[in-house]
Structure 1
Amino acid sequence: MTVRVDRVPTVLEAELRRRRWSREDAARELTRAARDLGIVGGWSLSLRQLDRWLSGEVRIPRGVACRVAEHVFGRPIEVLLGPVRPVSADPESEAPVAPATVGEFVVRSGEASRDHAAMAAAGAVAPATLEQLHAEVRRLAHAYASTPPLGLLSQLMRTRDLAYELLSHTRRPSQLSELYLVAGQVCGLAATTAFDLGHRDAAEDHGRAAWTYGDLIDHPALRAYARGVQATIAFWSGRPGEGLRYVNSGLTFAHGPAAVRLHAIGARAYAMLGAAGDARQALRLAMETADRGERGDEMTDEVGGEFAFGRPRFALCAGAVNITLGDGRSAAHAAGEALRLYGQTSAEQKRWAVHYGAWMDLATAHALQDNLDGAAEALAPALRLDKERRTARLAQRLVMLRATVDRSRYRGSAVAHEVSSAIDDFNACSLAWSVRQALPAGS
């Protein structure tokens, strides 16, 4: 009768199981790491060779292979190819160290410290890689102003996934914090991008993730930004009360432009609740904060782009607040100011959403004052926006305009019919509609 003795798995085998990698996955990641380390020649790894590593048949591979494996798994090669050491369930069951072996015990204690330190040192991401990730976040934050949402979301997800992958390659607390910051910033941008594409559930998931990462690393700027994103999604989704709770939470972490942004978002939520006094007070607080000229945080000032909140965006927000309150005159003034400030903005900072949103709000402001000819004239530039930039938020602005036209005393006139038809045609080609049409049934 043959008695089967189970082989003790190697640490490398255990690592593959923990990461849910197949042999093919591991070979692919090792090859990619070799390329990232600049090892062009002298590297090859067959599945047969990898099987020998996994079984522990190979004691110490050649130098290049050692370096690549230690980089990927963050452990010395001797540990990776050795057996998994069982952990005793009963600490008292360990035999005491006999006096005759004290010297050996001391030596082994030093070796254990050395090995653990080596594992920690091996588990790190190259500083240049982190620098490149931060540069990519800055590029994406600025690209938000000019890139169509669908293409931008694809770039955001590639950057997020790279940050996720690198999190498994480092043990250094400072690097983990940097990678969670990158992931949170990208998820914040992805939240508003997904919402622009008409997917509120995905937007809320991204926004919640951004907040979680900011909270995890205790990063005030990321937490303030994430709360602003969540508040914006909430009030656009018809939940202004929830939006205000996010605003109040975010204000505990915000100062400078971040606080201006949150006060402005709060004004929109108050207006939707019909609290005109609170809405105007929130706008005043935003303006007073902006006038103080306080320095912002590292996201608003150093990264900038979508993380910043300048005067054109504030003016656009003020116009939307006044539209919701039914004050056409104030709304027209604010929308006109947004267009004026947009014209003074440098080319790389111009946000097309501000430009077209301001024209839409100006048209709505004219309609609120029963000036349908003025509404049609202001709407004309907005209707020229190409289809790949017709976001859900812009489409919703036009829904508000159509409702205003339908309520005007000129309802049924030729001009009213012309404006309503133009809005329906525009929104029929909006991104939210196009994306829904492209999805498989049941998505």
Structure 2
Amino acid sequence: MALDQIHDDVAALARDYNRTSPTEVYRRAKELLEIARSALDRTQVPRQRTQAYLAAGQSAALLSAISFDLGFLPSAVSLSRTAALYGQVIEHGPLQAYAHGALAFLAYWNGRPSESIRHVREAQSFGGLGDTALIRLNVIEARAYGHLGNREAAEVAVRTALEQSTGRRDELHDGVGGEFSFPSDRVAMSNATTYLLLRDADGAEKAAEHALFLLGSKPEDQRPLLISTQASVDLARARLLRGELDGVQAALGPAFSVPAEWRGAGTLERMAAVRAGLCHRDFSGSTEARTLGERIEEYSAAATAHRLGAGTPLMAIES
């Protein structure tokens, strides 16, 4: 019964991930990981150990995701490796695929896109994966190729993700879902970033607008703030590539209203790219560009201060 409760609690946290403050997600995920590990110490029954390993692996995966959002990349990498290891122990394909997909994502964030491709290939080799898992991996692959500047391979990966439709499901990406899922709005948001890496303003704008349309069709309390904010900033970046300063300001409006604790690493990296773009010689002497750039600096500084205030417990993550 205790293991069933852990499973239910992990699933609930995954589904509430985008509607729960990042620091609270961190606290709850860390607590669940500790409970699952404790259960492993208290039973030698094979079925129960499998349940405990699965709960521990899912908790570690969620803890990795929130560690990234809070800006702690080394901890995120360590925890994804932990999740992959637990998945390997119980031969759970979807958990291993999710963890290796996260490692692929973290690899290109750390400037190693070729390593990212290798992680994607390994993740795709695991059995029992449904469409959602494969879509997620193809989207990550597209981003990695975008970082490598390989337009043809990136576009193939984008198309493969959009065309994936066999009807297969798996118990993690689809059964648990939530943060483990990868819905169409998230696909579109990530594809916008890939097009930006390829310097394709039109493709990026179309994908970002599609993401925002899909998000806007959801009830307000079901819209993932992290994803919608990133899509808004990517829309601004696409317009910036074309020199449309008014369009940049309009796109950034929703992002500027996001509280500091919800300004994840993905948002801040995108904002930094906008700030850098505003320093281009095309905008030299523009009061509007200078004012917008200063506002972005203040926005990012407030988020950084919040992270530093929450940093001490995060650095103590057990991996």
Normalising TM by the smaller chain, what interval?
A: over 0.9
1:394 is paired with a residue whose SS is: helix
Aligned pair partner of 1:263 in 120, 134, 138:
138
What's the TM-score, normalizing by structure 2?
0.94
Going from structure 1 to structure 2, the CA distance change for 1:439 and 1:149 (only over 3 Å counts) comes to closer
Q: Aligned partners of 1:293 and 1:403: how far apart in 2?
A: 42
The answer on 1:387 being equivalent to 2:260 is: yes
Aligned pair partner of 2:187 in 314, 317, 321:
314
Q: Which residue of 1 aligns with 2:55?
A: 182
Deviation for aligned residue 1:255: 3.4
Q: Report 1 or 2 for greater relative contact order, CA contacts < 8 Å, sequence distance ≥ 6.
A: 2
The answer on 1:194 being equivalent to 2:81 is: no
- The residue type paired with residue 186 of structure 2 is R
What's the TM-score, normalizing by structure 1?
0.68
Q: Aligned partners of 2:311 and 2:157: how far apart in 1?
A: 40
Q: Aligned partners of 1:360 and 1:336: how far apart in 2?
A: 11
Q: Aligned partners of 1:353 and 1:417: how far apart in 2?
A: 26
Q: Which residue of 1 aligns with 2:212?
A: 339
1:345 is paired with a residue whose SS is: coil
Aligned pair partner of 1:435 in 274, 288, 307:
307
Deviation for aligned residue 1:398: 0.6
Q: Which residue of 1 aligns with 2:150?
A: 275
Q: Aligned partners of 2:116 and 2:110: how far apart in 1?
A: 9
1:139 is paired with a residue whose SS is: helix
- Equivalent residue runs for 1:192-341 within 5 Å: 192-253=65-126, 254-289=129-164, 292-341=165-214
CA contact (8 A) 1:370 1:408 kept: no
Q: Which residue of 1 aligns with 2:26?
A: 153
- The residue type paired with residue 295 of structure 1 is R
Deviations 1:105-141 (A, max 9, x none): xxxxxxxxxxxxxxxxxxxxxxx21111111011110
CA contact (8 A) 1:368 1:408 kept: no
Going from structure 1 to structure 2, the CA distance change for 1:161 and 1:359 (only over 3 Å counts) comes to same
Q: Which residue of 2 aligns with 1:423?
A: 296
Deviation for aligned residue 1:350: 2.2
Going from structure 1 to structure 2, the CA distance change for 1:411 and 1:323 (only over 3 Å counts) comes to farther
For structure 1, the 5+ residue unaligned runs are 1-127
Q: Aligned partners of 1:427 and 1:247: how far apart in 2?
A: 31
Q: Aligned partners of 1:433 and 1:245: how far apart in 2?
A: 35
Question: Structure 1 segments of 4 or more deviating over 3 A?
Answer: 346-349, 437-440
Greater CA radius of gyration, 1 or 2? 1
For structure 2, the 5+ residue unaligned runs are none
2:283 is paired with a residue whose SS is: coil
- Equivalent residue runs for 1:27-106 within 5 Å: none
Give the alignment's Cα RMSD to 1 decimal.
Answer: 1.5
CA contact (8 A) 1:295 1:301 kept: no
The answer on 1:134 being equivalent to 2:15 is: no
- How many residues are paired up? 311
Deviations 1:129-181 (A, max 9, x none): 11111110111101111112111100001111111111111111111011000
Q: Aligned partners of 1:179 and 1:438: how far apart in 2?
A: 29
Q: Aligned partners of 2:211 and 2:67: how far apart in 1?
A: 25
Q: Aligned partners of 1:152 and 1:439: how far apart in 2?
A: 14
CA contact (8 A) 2:261 2:307 kept: no
Going from structure 1 to structure 2, the CA distance change for 1:161 and 1:264 (only over 3 Å counts) comes to same
- The residue type paired with residue 134 of structure 2 is A
Q: Which residue of 2 aligns with 1:410?
A: 283
Q: Aligned partners of 1:180 and 1:271: how far apart in 2?
A: 35
- Equivalent residue runs for 1:344-359 within 5 Å: 344-347=217-220, 349-359=222-232
Deviation for aligned residue 1:411: 3.4
Deviation for aligned residue 1:345: 2.7
Q: Which residue of 2 aligns with 1:49?
A: none
Q: Aligned partners of 2:106 and 2:152: how far apart in 1?
A: 23
